[in-house]
Amino acid sequence: MDHRIEPVFEGEDEPLPEALDILDGLEAAPAAAKLRRRLRQMGVQGVPRGPRKETQSHPAGLTPRQVEVLELVAKGMTNSDIAEHLFVSPKTVDHHVSALLAKLGVSSRKEAAAIARNQDLV
Protein backbone atom coordinates (compact mmCIF):
# COMPACT_ATOMS: atom_id res chain seq x y z
CA MET A 1 0.00 0.00 0.00
CA ASP A 2 1.43 3.37 -1.01
CA HIS A 3 1.18 6.01 1.72
CA ARG A 4 2.56 8.93 -0.21
CA ILE A 5 2.06 12.15 1.62
CA GLU A 6 -0.01 14.73 -0.20
CA PRO A 7 0.95 18.42 -0.24
CA VAL A 8 -0.22 20.50 2.71
CA PHE A 9 -2.09 23.06 0.64
CA GLU A 10 -3.00 23.23 -3.00
CA GLY A 11 0.10 24.33 -4.89
CA GLU A 12 2.49 23.64 -2.02
CA ASP A 13 5.28 21.12 -2.43
CA GLU A 14 6.07 20.44 1.22
CA PRO A 15 4.89 17.17 2.73
CA LEU A 16 2.55 17.04 5.69
CA PRO A 17 5.16 15.74 8.16
CA GLU A 18 7.28 18.82 7.44
CA ALA A 19 4.22 20.97 8.15
CA LEU A 20 3.77 19.12 11.43
CA ASP A 21 7.34 19.99 12.43
CA ILE A 22 6.64 23.62 11.63
CA LEU A 23 3.40 23.68 13.62
CA ASP A 24 5.10 22.04 16.60
CA GLY A 25 7.97 24.51 16.30
CA LEU A 26 5.52 27.39 16.39
CA GLU A 27 3.72 25.76 19.33
CA ALA A 28 0.47 25.79 17.33
CA ALA A 29 -1.03 22.89 19.28
CA PRO A 30 -4.61 22.96 17.89
CA ALA A 31 -3.45 23.05 14.27
CA ALA A 32 -0.82 20.40 14.96
CA ALA A 33 -3.42 18.13 16.58
CA LYS A 34 -5.70 18.51 13.56
CA LEU A 35 -2.85 17.63 11.22
CA ARG A 36 -1.90 14.60 13.34
CA ARG A 37 -5.48 13.33 13.02
CA ARG A 38 -5.37 13.87 9.26
CA LEU A 39 -2.06 12.00 8.95
CA ARG A 40 -3.43 9.07 10.94
CA GLN A 41 -6.63 9.03 8.84
CA MET A 42 -4.41 8.83 5.76
CA GLY A 43 -2.78 5.74 7.21
CA VAL A 44 0.59 7.31 7.91
CA GLN A 45 2.50 5.23 10.44
CA GLY A 46 4.62 6.67 13.25
CA VAL A 47 2.94 10.06 13.57
CA PRO A 48 4.47 11.64 16.69
CA ARG A 49 1.99 12.43 19.46
CA GLY A 50 3.44 15.87 20.16
CA PRO A 51 6.74 17.60 20.59
CA ARG A 52 9.43 14.96 20.63
CA LYS A 53 11.55 14.17 23.67
CA GLU A 54 14.49 15.81 21.89
CA THR A 55 12.48 19.03 21.66
CA GLN A 56 11.31 18.87 25.26
CA SER A 57 14.84 18.20 26.50
CA HIS A 58 16.56 20.87 24.38
CA PRO A 59 17.51 23.85 26.59
CA ALA A 60 15.72 26.29 24.27
CA GLY A 61 12.91 23.90 23.27
CA LEU A 62 14.15 23.66 19.69
CA THR A 63 13.12 20.78 17.47
CA PRO A 64 15.89 18.69 15.90
CA ARG A 65 15.23 20.44 12.56
CA GLN A 66 15.40 23.87 14.21
CA VAL A 67 18.77 22.90 15.69
CA GLU A 68 19.96 21.98 12.18
CA VAL A 69 18.72 25.30 10.85
CA LEU A 70 20.31 27.20 13.75
CA GLU A 71 23.66 25.51 13.06
CA LEU A 72 23.47 26.66 9.45
CA VAL A 73 22.35 30.17 10.45
CA ALA A 74 25.33 30.32 12.82
CA LYS A 75 27.58 29.42 9.87
CA GLY A 76 26.22 32.48 8.05
CA MET A 77 24.10 30.65 5.48
CA THR A 78 21.13 32.39 3.88
CA ASN A 79 17.65 30.87 3.92
CA SER A 80 18.06 29.91 0.27
CA ASP A 81 21.37 28.19 1.03
CA ILE A 82 19.83 26.39 4.00
CA ALA A 83 16.86 25.28 1.92
CA GLU A 84 19.14 23.83 -0.72
CA HIS A 85 21.30 22.14 1.92
CA LEU A 86 18.31 20.55 3.69
CA PHE A 87 16.31 19.82 0.51
CA VAL A 88 13.31 21.88 1.62
CA SER A 89 11.74 25.06 0.29
CA PRO A 90 12.99 28.51 1.34
CA LYS A 91 9.49 29.11 2.75
CA THR A 92 9.95 26.15 5.10
CA VAL A 93 13.29 27.54 6.22
CA ASP A 94 11.59 30.91 6.83
CA HIS A 95 9.15 29.16 9.18
CA HIS A 96 11.94 27.36 11.03
CA VAL A 97 13.99 30.54 11.40
CA SER A 98 10.95 32.48 12.67
CA ALA A 99 10.17 29.75 15.19
CA LEU A 100 13.70 29.49 16.50
CA LEU A 101 14.06 33.28 16.77
CA ALA A 102 10.85 33.34 18.82
CA LYS A 103 12.00 30.49 21.05
CA LEU A 104 15.35 32.16 21.62
CA GLY A 105 13.65 35.52 22.27
CA VAL A 106 15.71 37.37 19.67
CA SER A 107 14.85 39.41 16.61
CA SER A 108 17.81 38.72 14.34
CA ARG A 109 19.79 35.85 12.89
CA LYS A 110 22.97 37.45 14.25
CA GLU A 111 21.57 37.40 17.80
CA ALA A 112 20.43 33.79 17.36
CA ALA A 113 23.90 32.76 16.16
CA ALA A 114 25.52 34.51 19.15
CA ILE A 115 23.19 32.76 21.61
CA ALA A 116 23.78 29.44 19.87
CA ARG A 117 27.53 29.82 20.33
CA ASN A 118 27.43 31.30 23.86
CA GLN A 119 24.98 28.74 25.24
CA ASP A 120 26.29 25.71 23.31
CA LEU A 121 22.89 25.15 21.68
CA VAL A 122 24.43 23.75 18.52
Is 30 a domain residue? yes
Determine the structural domain holding residue 44 and report its residue range. Answer: 16-118
Predicted model pTM: 0.59
Is 6 a domain residue? no
Whole-number pLDDT of residue 9? 45
Is 10 a domain residue? no
Q: Residue 110: which of 75, 83, 59 has the closest Cα? A: 75
Number of domains the chain contains: 1
Is 7 a domain residue? no
- For residue 65, the number of C-alpha atoms closer than 13 Å in the C-beta half-sphere is 26
Q: Would you call 66 helix, strand, or coil by DSSP? A: helix
Q: Tell me, what CATH number does 102's domain have? A: 1.10.10.10
Is 11 a domain residue? no
Is 8 a domain residue? no
Q: How many CB atoms lie within 10 A of CB 30?
A: 8
Is 1 a domain residue? no
User: What tens-digit pLDDT sequence spans the chain (122 residues)?
Assistant: 444 444 444 444 446 777 877 887 777 778 888 888 888 888 877 777 766 666 666 667 788 888 899 999 999 999 999 999 999 899 999 999 998 898 889 999 999 999 988 888 77
